[in-house]
Amino acid sequence: MSSDNPQITPRTLRTTITAGATVVIALWAAQAHPSARPDALFATGAHLTGLLAGYGILVMLFLMARVPAVEHGIGADRLARHHARGGRHVLTLCAAHVVLALCGYAVHTGTDLVTAVTDLLGYPALAAAAAGTALLGAVGVSSARAVRRRVGHGTWRGLHLLTYLGAALAFAHQLSGPDVAGGPLSLGLWCLLHATVAVLLVWYRVVVPVRQALRHDLRVVDVRVEGPGVVSVLMRGRDLARLRAEPGQFFRWRFLHRRLWRTALPFSLSAPVDGDHVRITVKAVGDHTRRVRRLRPGVRVAATGPFGALTAHRRTRRKVLLLAGGVGITPLRALFETLPGAPGDLTLLYRANNAEQLVLREELETIARTRQAGLHYLLGPSDASFDPLAPQALRNLVPGLAEHDVYLCGPPGMTAAATTALVRAGVAEERIHAESFTY
């Protein structure tokens, strides 16, 4: 299957990032002055780690700039994981840069580290760099799993805005360093890279959302209860075909209501776009999602997207298994209706603790009857003695499982367990198309 949207593949992204890092190292090597003196060795290490940290910050910002070609080719959940992992590397490089620079200065001047800190903070560019590093460190701490669970979503997002200020302060410091400012070519290239990422961030995170909001004029039409803590929000707009939304994708929805407008919430389409109507299905898992169920008709909506790579173009086999957990059914319900297939080609397995937690059940059963597709509910608590996601259980439910493409969406724990079981059941890992459903 193919897609009309341009896409950057994971391999292309990795190759491009690696090539950029190689250029940065070459820039450092071209200006390095080999010396066995301890202060020179510390300074050389500080220059390399500083350049790589600056480049890493640019990469992190680019990954989260919501560039459609990247989002569609990589997948938003995978991009978020890359961003988190890369952020840890960047913070490590920043710390190494600081330590090496302090040690180099202390050795060169014959002072201690405390005096080195005091002296260096007297330089405006270095003070700006210290402030930028502190801001980036604060963002990193807020993203640690133990802290993230205790911080509200709005607070966490607000702290992440400090990344832009930290990156700007670091850029100011880099311009005064010998590696960047040492020649017109290196200075021009560094400024061009930063300008490019800045334009992408402003365009896709500010201009595009505003333009889409004005163009499509989305408004809430109805909020319907689907189950315990789950509602569907039906919206109507104009010219929705220009969104080019594919079943399986999601948007970031900003409801222009007094208690919701500050946060863009990521929700998948729970049905294909139908003329001038679009629908999402939301489970209450936090303050913002609980407020969604109290929306009233007429509330304006700003939608940014579409995002995500859990779409039909990833399909490589005639037979397809859709495996959903909890409210992760929403993108798979849209795919269940729209994926091309003859009778018997599609099977949907829906994992939930009990029948009350099954969302959109009547629609799923109607689609299954109409398309002559398989539909099975895998009910029971996750700690039950019988595991419905065990490899043999999956093979019994889906004959010829190893020859299927699998679309998988659910909570992170369920997604990880199902992926392991599918691989053990004989499904090639490259044919498991997963998206972890998190908020």
pLDDT at 439: 47
Joined together, the tokens standing for residue 45 give: 């290490």
Sign (positive or negative) of CA dihedral 174, 172, 135, 63: negative
**pLDDT averaged over 10-residue windows placed end to end, the chain, 439 residues:** 62 90 84 76 85 89 85 76 84 87 84 80 74 78 70 68 79 70 72 90 89 89 88 92 88 84 83 91 77 87 85 89 90 93 92 87 93 91 75 90 91 87 90 72
pLDDT at 154: 63
Same fold yes or no, 217-307 and 312-436: no
Between the two ends of the chain, the Cα-to-Cα distance in Å is: 29
Query: Is the distance from CB of 300 to CB of 390 less than 8 angstroms?
Result: no
Q: In what order do the strands lie in the sheet with 300-307?
A: 265-268, 250-255, 300-307, 218-227, 230-236, 277-283
In the 8-state DSSP scheme, what is residue 314?
Answer: G
Nearest-10 Cα torsion for 104, 110, 114, 120: -60
Question: Could you state, in order of their start, the residue ranges of all structural domains in the chain?
Answer: 10-182, 217-307, 312-436
pTM of the model: 0.74
Taking alpha carbons only, the member of 306, 281, 301 closest to residue 236 is: 301
Taking alpha carbons only, the member of 339, 295, 300, 344 closest to residue 316 is: 339
- Give 217-307's CATH code, choosing from 3.40.50.720, 3.30.465.10, 2.40.30.10, 2.160.10.10: 2.40.30.10
pLDDT at 423: 92
For domain 312-436, the CATH architecture is 3-Layer(aba) Sandwich (3.40)
Q: In what order do the strands lie in the sheet with 346-352?
A: 374-379, 346-352, 320-325, 405-410, 432-436
pLDDT at 181: 53
